[in-house]
């Protein structure tokens, strides 16, 4: 498949919202007594969701990540539900690559992180 076809398929898939729920297991009994907003999750958990998007949600599986950039705007809290939005922002047919712009928001529409990720099709 050439990147423009993949980009078209991805645009069809991601014109809606891919909703990812961040639900983590309780780390200790003491944390049960804490209010949800008091436990901040490590930012790299968003990279895990990004990896899931690339590895599991795209219509092609033979890809590599060329680069990724993520900018954190607000903290992510334990048991917070997130929405993930991604759109194809560029294609590079000469090198079989597709670039996505993405954003993570909570259900109050507060931007938690945004960035760009470029993948190569093998």
Q: Which domains does the chain have, with CATH numbers?
A: 3-121 (3.10.129.10)
Per residue in 50-105, pLDDT (tens digit) is 888 898 888 888 999 999 999 999 988 877 788 888 888 999 989 999 999 999 98
pTM over 0.75: no
Per the CB < 8 A criterion, the answer to whether 89 and 99 are in contact is yes
Strands 111-121 and 97-106: antiparallel
pLDDT number for residue 107? 83
Per residue in 7-45, pLDDT (tens digit) is 444 444 444 444 444 444 444 444 555 555 567 776 788
Contacts of 38 (CB under 8 A, 6+ apart): 77
CB count in 10 Å sphere of residue 3: 23
């Amino acid at each position: 498949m050439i990147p423009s076809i993949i980009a078209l398929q991805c645009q069809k898939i991601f014109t809606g919202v891919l909703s990812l729920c961040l639900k983590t297991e309780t780390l200790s009994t003491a944390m049960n007594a804490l209010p949800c907003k008091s436990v901040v999750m490590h930012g790299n958990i968003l990279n895990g969701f990004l990896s899931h998007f690339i590895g599991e949600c795209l219509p092609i599986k033979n890809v590599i990540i060329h680069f990724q950039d993520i900018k954190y705007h607000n903290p992510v809290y334990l048991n917070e539900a997130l929405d993930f939005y991604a759109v194809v922002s560029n294609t590079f047919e000469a090198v079989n690559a597709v670039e996505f712009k993405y954003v993570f928001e909570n259900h109050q529409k507060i931007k938690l992180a945004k960035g760009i990720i470029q993948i190569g099709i093998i």
